Structures are given as structure tokens and as C-alpha cells.
């Protein structure tokens, strides 16, 4: 069983999304996701969340709200338990980027090895190509829900919600 984290970061009505297009043989290629990755041995989900956000975005989280666990069950991919987070409390780790953000509200992002990072207006997110199951929990986050637990069953890329 794979254990991962996924964090959605919001800033003034825009959400930070990652378009996966740079890793070879990536099952997420061509899809938009939040920020996250695999929990390493000895690491807590909170530690993983902070590490992954820093590695992929150069952002240091001040706080992050743990929203719940999404259980993915699939016929093609390894089963996964994903710890879901939301944050609107962050600052760029780079001192110059942090100063620009504090002074002008402009959050510049570094290059990401996994794909293209972009701030997307909340009204446009659900139009992006993404996993069908991501639409379920991301829709709840966009609607302001912060307590979410689901079981999503995949047959290929077709998803069924089998538990809430």
C-alpha cells in the first residue's frame, strides 16, 4: 500500500496547481494535481507534506489543515492512502521572493522537476484535465469543506465513489 500526501495551496482566490509533464513514465502525465508525494520511511504525513511542498514549489508552509484521508483502490495501480491538506498560509523560502511576496503580493515559483506550476483561478480549476476522483475531493475543497474522507475505486481511469 502506497502512502502519500497532497496539498492544495490557495492565495487570494487562486490555487497552486501542478501540470505533470516532465517525469518519464508518469501515470499522472497530462493531468493537473495539487502538490505532494510519497511518505518516506520514518516520516509523518505532516512532515511529508511540508517537505514535498518545499521541494516542488519553494514555499514554506506556515500551517496546513489536515482534511482527511482519501483511499484509492484500483485494478491497474497500487492501492494508495493519500493524506489531504489545504493551506493558505505560506511564504517563499527564497529571501528575495519572500520580500516581493510581502511587498507586492507576487508569488514567483521556481522550476519544478515534475511539471509546470501555475496559480489557477478557482473558477477555472474544474475545467482542467485531472483524475476523475480528484474532481470529487477538489470540488469539496473549492466549496470550502475542510473535513473530507472518501474511498475511490478505479477501474482503469473510471472512478466510482464507494465510501464517504
What would the pLDDT profile of 72-104 be if each residue is shown by its tens digit?
998 888 899 999 999 999 999 999 999 999 999
Pull the grid cell for residue 47.
512532515
If one counts every other C-beta atom within 10 angstroms of the C-beta of residue 81, the result is: 16
> What pLDDT does 76 receive?
84
Interatomic CA distance for residues 40 and 48, integer angstroms: 7
Q: What is residue 164's predicted lDDT score, i.e. its pLDDT? A: 58
End-to-end CA, the chain: 20
CATH number assigned to the domain covering 2-163: 3.90.79.10
pTM to 2 decimal places: 0.93
pLDDT of res. 58: 97
pLDDT tens-digit readout, 124-164: 999 999 998 999 999 999 999 999 999 998 887 777 777 65
Residue 23: per-residue pLDDT: 80
Closest CA to 140 of 125, 155, 153: 125
Percent of the chain with pLDDT over 90: 84
Instruction: Output the pLDDT for position 160.
Output: 78
pLDDT digits (tens, 9 = 90+) for 28-64: 899 999 999 999 999 999 999 999 999 999 999 999 9
Burial class (CB in 10 A: 0-12, 13-18, 19+), 28: middle
How much is the pLDDT for 49? 98
Locate 37 and state its grid cell. Answer: 508525494
User: Bigger pLDDT: 120 or 27?
Assistant: 120
Amino acid at each position: 500500500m502506497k502512502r502519500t500526501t497532497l496539498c492544495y495551496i490557495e492565495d487570494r482566490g487562486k490555487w497552486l496547481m501542478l501540470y505533470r509533464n516532465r517525469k518519464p513514465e508518469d501515470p499522472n502525465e497530462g493531468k493537473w494535481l495539487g502538490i505532494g508525494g510519497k511518505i518516506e520511511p520514518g516520516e509523518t504525513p505532516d512532515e511529508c507534506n511540508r517537505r514535498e511542498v518545499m521541494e516542488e514549489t519553494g514555499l514554506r508552509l506556515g500551517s496546513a489543515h489536515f482534511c482527511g484521508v482519501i483511499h484509492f483502490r484500483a485494478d491497474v495501480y497500487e492501492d494508495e492512502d493519500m493524506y489531504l491538506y489545504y493551506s493558505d498560509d505560506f511564504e517563499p523560502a527564497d529571501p528575495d521572493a519572500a520580500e516581493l511576496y510581502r511587498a507586492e503580493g507576487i508569488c514567483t515559483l521556481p522550476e519544478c522537476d515534475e511539471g509546470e506550476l501555475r496559480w489557477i483561478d478557482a473558477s477555472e480549476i474544474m475545467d482542467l484535465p485531472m483524475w476523475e476522483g480528484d474532481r470529487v475531493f477538489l470540488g469539496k475543497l473549492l466549496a470550502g469543506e475542510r473535513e473530507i474522507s472518501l474511498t475511490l475505486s478505479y477501474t482503469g481511469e473510471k472512478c466510482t465513489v464507494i465510501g464517504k
